[in-house]
Structure 1
Amino acid sequence: MSGAPEHYDPEACARFLRELGASGERVLPIAEAALALASFERPRVAPRRYREHLGVLARDVGRHPGASGGVAEWVRALNEIILLKHGYSGDDQTYDDLQNANLMRVVDRRKGLPVALGILYMHAGRAQGWETVGLAFPGHFLVRLSAGPEQLILDPFHGGRICTAPELRELLKATTGSSSELQSEYYTPV
């Protein structure tokens, strides 16, 4: 598989994304894929500084004291670095603005949709070697961190809070309707 293009080249970006989709890999370089997609909207903007910023996020998380702890400490490290140090937040004022899905614009603005913030969390967590996945939760992107039997689900959009089963049920009902109930497939990695 070719690497992500250094400069915007529509053919190279499309080839990179096709190769990712066909790779069959269980864990994809999701942040690189998001930058390739973002470059279609911003063809004159070089992805280099965004890659560098992703590297800084990963480095800062790795240097956080919680990085050597358990899953709860990992969540604390991610939250303190991504949300507090670097100032990211969910954009609840202009939620439907397409900028909130473009990773380049999310980095520039420091706010975005749950999935865009989740990509930052997954990138920084995976850079540490942590099992970090996005979940197929209906209507709202969530991230799960795992180490053996220890697992925590967090919501990057709402301050990186750790979600309990009752909170997940409440979120599900708020996004899909009051008759909805939690199902095992909602915890499937995507």
Structure 2
Amino acid sequence: MIFEEEIKKSVFITQIAHTPSIESAKAFIDGVKKEHSNARHNCWGFVAGRPENSMMWGFSDDGEPSGTAGKPILAQLSGSGIGELAAVVTRYYGGIRLGTGGLVKAYGGGVQQALKLIQTIEKKITTQLRLELDYAFVATAQSELSKFSAVEVESYYSDTVTLIVEVEVNKVDALTQSIINKSGAKTMVSPVEHN
């Protein structure tokens, strides 16, 4: 996504990309720097993981006064509630100084405008659980699974029934407790180990 504006003869070009890792964020930033290698500044910020995970954040003022570019870019990204994003704001200097406040507004504002243009997709983090139960509890278990938007991935029928289900990580505890309670503690629930 690209947003471009001119402020007091300086041209600011904001580019935002989906970057699910720090490596992909750095690769995107390097690509923009190469594309605009003749620009005065290529300031950037990224939120490579979930928006609240500050261990996956990074930013640079790229020669602008400290705190006037990278931090406002990062503040817009982290405040958006959207993760896995990187933004580079390229500045072609027009000869007029903007001052500290003007720079903060220009860099943060460009990212804010670009964020309005992107389409987001909600990413749900899921895990798989193994349910071991008697035939008598299958209907009850399936009813509980639907309440928690859990999806049956596989099922095995022998002396007992084994269901492999996929559920959002934040619903695992509630689903587990509910199924154990409804079956009178006769259902075994365990995480599926992936090799």
Structure number with bigger Rg: 2
TM-score of the superposition, structure 2-length normalised? 0.21
The higher-RCO structure (CA 8 Å, 6+ apart) is 2
Quick check: which one's helix share is greater?
1
Quick check: which one's strand share is greater?
2
